Amino acid sequence: MSSAPPAGNFTDTGNATVTSGAWDFLGPLQDMDFLWLELQLVGSAMGIIYLGAHASLRRPPSAAPPKDKKTGKTKKEDDNFTQGLELGDAIMFPLMAGCVLVGLYYLIQYLKDPAILTTILKYYMSTVSVASMVTLYAHGMDLVTSFVFPKYWRGRDGRLRKAVQGEQKAVTCDDAGNVVDQQTESNPLPWILGIFAPTAKSKAFAWKLRNLLTRNWLFRIYLRGAGEEKTTIKFVTVLAIPVSAITAFFYFTTNLPFLSNMLGYGMCYCSLLILSPTDLMIGSLVLVGLFFYDIVMVFYTPYMVTVATTLDVPIKLTFKAAGRQSILGLGDIVIPGMVMAWTLRLDLWLFYQRKIKYESRELSIVEKTASGEIVTRSDSKHMEIKAPYVDVKGRWGDRWWSSALFSRTVLPAEIAATQFPKTYFHATLTGYLAGMIVTLAMLLVFKRGQPALLYLVPGVLGSIYTTALFRGELKKIWRYTEDGSLDTTDVIVEVDGQGNSTKTIGVLKDGVVDTTKTDDEKTKEKEKADEEKEKKERQERDDKEKKEALAKKGYSVFSVTLDVPPEDEE
């Protein structure tokens, strides 16, 4: 983050904040202009991190996959564990960033006219940003929908209501969400919003609109030989596509800072969904590496300042008021933000970790003696029983209408799950805010550009490690990883007198725990099993295609379908 010296010079960019305009303290009005600019800047950064972090939540490895209510089988998960940043990425991050920055700098010097490069980059970023804008707009509209059409809300009498879309009625429930009264309502709008649907016709329209906005559509794409892929989307996603394209088009044809900021918000938001350190060590290395990168590029080279102030592309958030301008680089949001989002998932992992129970089981243990002999013995050990995961995303409206305005201790399970302790996430928010405040203070003191990561990195990492040391959980959070290795089932452990796990013995398979195999052997077995499963699925798919071809004397080569499933109780 940085500010400019007098005479309107810009002194930072990509990962920096800049203030332009003559700097003096002529009066409260000018001071308020500066304060308003910085409030917009800090509020935007923290807001996008807060929303992006919550959107990145997924089932932690300490929770069991949820089961389908109808079949009782474990639901298939599409994106539970994604490939996170690894050690090599932590090393390459600052190196690649430096190469790109230096390359752009010398390209600007070579072209002489930065307008050419700006036009090319604007066209490129306008095109590639459409996908991120679709995600941002779709999630934003989904957020608004959750407030307008919640599943749970409290009526004027303080009693809980539950919307049943299939029957187009709202039933009365107790605080835990259980139906307790046959009394129903026909209005799907909560509490005071009900005045917007006073007639039977308007209520019927509201139910249809609710169905359109909340129902999941099934999108399928099939290619012969490659198989079928399917996912669920909502109407808001379809609606977001043209809106995103229009935003990108007007950004390319105009120079409005608002549209540039919208593209920046979209890229930051999507980056927080797809970028994540695998564990705390990787996250710390990434931040520390870019900490030094930011210092060098801002204080000791002209690269960052020149590129950011020369190219008018959405690599920064820009706010203007009364002849002043403040700029915050997207890197100052995404880099600390991805670690902050990781801490929110850490909090969720810790929440379900505390809910793990241990059941005593009689089983056979295969182990190797000191002499190298393999023996089998029967023993009584404890098996981990993980609590099933309850999806915590998209419950903003439910939580607001059922608890925010009323003091209640009991809530339906879907809403109660969203209230898990967010200790480390709130700590990093505090650290990030402190870092931003210190950056602004240094900006005013030195009246020159300040690398924001110089203050944000200590604030974010310091808050994590300080909180962990204070709570005595440093070893525990250091062990947490998102590489999938913790997502195990049927784990046999030893427990102490207080019922806490002290040692992992192994994994139960067909009533036997084999402790003679090394981790590499277990990994190879798992890979082999996954390969055989994939081979079997491929063979079944090929057989199915052949049968269909014989029955129809023809076959489908490529198809795309969008199916609307029947209404059900959400």
Run of H or E residues at 353: helix 331-353
The larger pLDDT score, comparing residue 418 to residue 425, is at: 425
Tell me what percent of the residues of the chain surpass a pLDDT of 90: 29
Once rounded to an integer, what is the mean pLDDT over residues 93-122? Answer: 86
Cα–Cα distance measured from residue 483 to residue 478, given in angstroms and rounded to the nearest whole number: 13
pLDDT at 17: 44
pLDDT at 91: 84
Among 189, 151, 191, smallest CA distance to 568 is for 151
Once rounded to an integer, what is the mean pLDDT over residues 75-88? Answer: 66
pLDDT band at 118 (very low <50, low <70, confident <90, very high): confident
Res 312 pLDDT > 80 = no
Question: Count of alpha carbons within 13 Å of 232, Cβ hemisphere only?
Answer: 10
pLDDT at 455: 93
Cα–Cα distance measured from residue 239 to residue 135, given in angstroms and rounded to the nearest whole number: 11
pLDDT at 209: 92
Of 24-28, 379-383, 456-460, give the range with the top mean pLDDT: 456-460
Res 12 pLDDT > 50 = no
Cβ-based neighbours of 214, under 8 Å, separated by 6 or more: 145, 149, 165, 234, 570
Res 412 pLDDT > 70 = yes
Res 438 pLDDT > 50 = yes
Res 322 pLDDT > 70 = no
Work out the number of other CB atoms within 10 angstroms of the CB of residue 141: 18
Of 129-133, 253-257, 335-339, 355-359, give the range with the top mean pLDDT: 335-339
pLDDT at 435: 94
Among 241, 284, 244, 235, smallest CA distance to 263 is for 244
pLDDT band at 4 (very low <50, low <70, confident <90, very high): very low
Of 174-183, 372-381, 389-398, give the range with the top mean pLDDT: 389-398
Res 387 pLDDT > 60 = yes
pLDDT at 279: 92
Question: Which residue pairs, CB below 8 angstroms and at least 24 apart, start in 185-194?
Answer: 185/155, 185/161, 188/149, 188/163, 189/148, 189/149, 190/150, 190/153, 190/154, 190/161, 190/397, 190/401, 191/153, 191/154, 191/155, 191/156, 191/401, 193/148
The larger pLDDT score, comparing residue 514 to residue 221, is at: 221
The larger pLDDT score, comparing residue 369 to residue 486, is at: 486
Interhelix angle for 423-446 vs 331-353, to 10°? 160
E strands, 111-200, in order: 152-154, 160-164, 169-173, 179-185
Cα–Cα distance measured from residue 465 to residue 480, given in angstroms and rounded to the nearest whole number: 14
Res 15 pLDDT > 60 = no
CB 156 within 8 A of CB 163: no
CB 368 within 8 A of CB 362: no
pLDDT at 57: 93
Res 160 pLDDT > 80 = yes
pLDDT at 451: 83
The larger pLDDT score, comparing residue 289 to residue 369, is at: 289
Tokens of 496: 């102490």
Of 289-303, 345-359, 361-375, 438-452, give the range with the top mean pLDDT: 345-359
Res 510 pLDDT > 80 = no
Res 541 pLDDT > 60 = yes
Residue by residue, DSSP assigns 304-335 as HHHHHHH--SSSEEEEEETTEEEEEETHHHHH
The larger pLDDT score, comparing residue 184 to residue 62, is at: 62
Res 284 pLDDT > 50 = yes
pLDDT at 146: 92
Q: Any idea where the domains of the chain sit in the sequence?
A: 27-514
Mean pLDDT check: name the lowest of 181-195, 467-481, 490-504.
490-504
pLDDT at 16: 43
pLDDT at 524: 63
pTM of structure: 0.85
CB 486 within 8 A of CB 51: no
Res 24 pLDDT > 60 = no
The larger pLDDT score, comparing residue 409 to residue 400, is at: 400
Give the phi and the psi of residue 493 in degrees, each rounded to 5: -135, 165
Cα–Cα distance measured from residue 321 to residue 251, given in angstroms and rounded to the nearest whole number: 20
Of 65-74, 113-122, 131-140, 389-398, give the range with the top mean pLDDT: 131-140
Tokens of 117: 């490069």
Once rounded to an integer, what is the mean pLDDT over residues 28-52? Answer: 82
Helix (H, G, I), strand (E, B) or coil at 482: coil
pLDDT band at 19 (very low <50, low <70, confident <90, very high): very low
Q: What is the pLDDT of residues 455-484, one digit of tens each?
A: 999 999 999 999 999 999 999 999 999 988
Tell me what percent of the residues of the chain surpass a pLDDT of 70: 78
pLDDT at 20: 42
pLDDT at 21: 43
Tokens of 235: 């109407």
Res 495 pLDDT > 80 = no
Res 386 pLDDT > 60 = yes
Q: What is the dihedral of CA 458, 461, 465, 470, to 10 degrees?
A: 70
Cα–Cα distance measured from residue 209 to residue 145, given in angstroms and rounded to the nearest whole number: 10
pLDDT at 117: 85
What is the residue-averaged pLDDT of the chain? 80
The larger pLDDT score, comparing residue 269 to residue 491, is at: 269
pLDDT at 201: 92
pLDDT band at 350 (very low <50, low <70, confident <90, very high): very high
The larger pLDDT score, comparing residue 222 to residue 240, is at: 240
Can you say how many angstroms the Cα of residue 386 is from the centroid of all Cα atoms in its chain? 23
pLDDT at 459: 96
Res 544 pLDDT > 60 = yes
CB 567 within 8 A of CB 211: yes
Res 521 pLDDT > 80 = no
